[in-house]
Amino acid sequence: MKNQVKLLPFTIQSVVDQTNETPEGVQLVQAPSVWEDSSQGEGIVIAVIDTGIDSSHPDLKDRIIAGRNFTSDYQGDPEVFEDNNGHGTHVSGTIAASLNNEGVVGVAPKAQILSLKALTGQGSGNYEWIIDAIHYAVDWRGPNEERVRVISMSLGGPEDVPEMHKAIQNAVNQNISVVVAAGNEGDSQDDTFEYAYPGAYNEVISVGAVDMDLQPAPFSNTHTELDLVAPGVDVISTYPDNKYAKLTGTSMATPHVAGAIALLINKSEKEFDRTLSEEEVYAQLIRRTVPLGNRKSAEGNGFLQLNVVEKLQDLIPTTSVNAN
């Protein structure tokens, strides 16, 4: 097995001490429009496999249900999963930063995060760490028998590692949606394909990046397994030491989708009055995408738009179809 998996390269645009806003990306995917019907993701646990989390950050401290360290950081202590990089904290904030009238708010502000630190402060890790974290997420049970419903991974490498693929397939078979970044090796050409793993596996939900004007990000990998796109340029979110930062990368697009799935699980399971399978959750997600007019290799099914189904309902004539 090849040894290293890394954070997909990302760019730090700026770091600030304070902000008070609903991030533009959260607004663009229309998350607030479904908060009421989805209880803001309450009760859904999302495992974030990354560099850890700033557990004392005011926007995150109430969102963390548990965590574990799989790396050699902190002398390999499994109980210490603090973020010594920044990436994991940023991703976690986009998923679920609390709606507390300060800082930022995430896509699913009442979802809970299981923070699995599988990458070091340098942003790299062994494939074994990633695989162990995936298995841990599948087997984990919370204090009230909660289970993980979503895994978010903004990481990757050039190697197709069969053991990692098998772990992901097992997670999906256990009814967990696995959301991953497509990768940042793009060359602005939608007809030349770049594959990073696990983003290129068919079983994962592979997320590409667009900017806030919904234009494809030039760095975003294009390939035949891309599922959808979300905001990934100048994304503001939580950052260690109680700060906030704007970061750019498909790493930043991925958590928009992970948080959206938490909302859609609650909304859809309430409507159907039963537990949905991973395939059904995926179908509900893809129903809520809007084509942007690019090749499928650049945008998959399109841009995440959580209120599009309700908007379509508004187009249906109000006169009864059964009227004589």
Active site residues: 50, 87, 251
Where do runs of H (alpha helix) occur along the chain?
A: 24-28, 35-38, 87-96, 127-139, 162-173, 250-272, 278-287, 296-299, 308-315
Please enumerate in sequence order all residues whose Cβ is within 8 A of that of 287, keeping only pairs 6 or more positions apart, or say none: 308, 309
Of 53, 54, 94, 46, nearest in space to 248 by CA: 94
Distance CA 238, CA 254 (A): 15
Q: Which amino acid is at 176?
A: I
Distance CA 165, CA 162 (A): 5
Distance CA 248, CA 233 (A): 4
Distance CA 264, CA 246 (A): 26
- Going by the DSSP 8-state scheme, the letter that residue 39 receives in this structure is G
Distance CA 127, CA 136 (A): 14
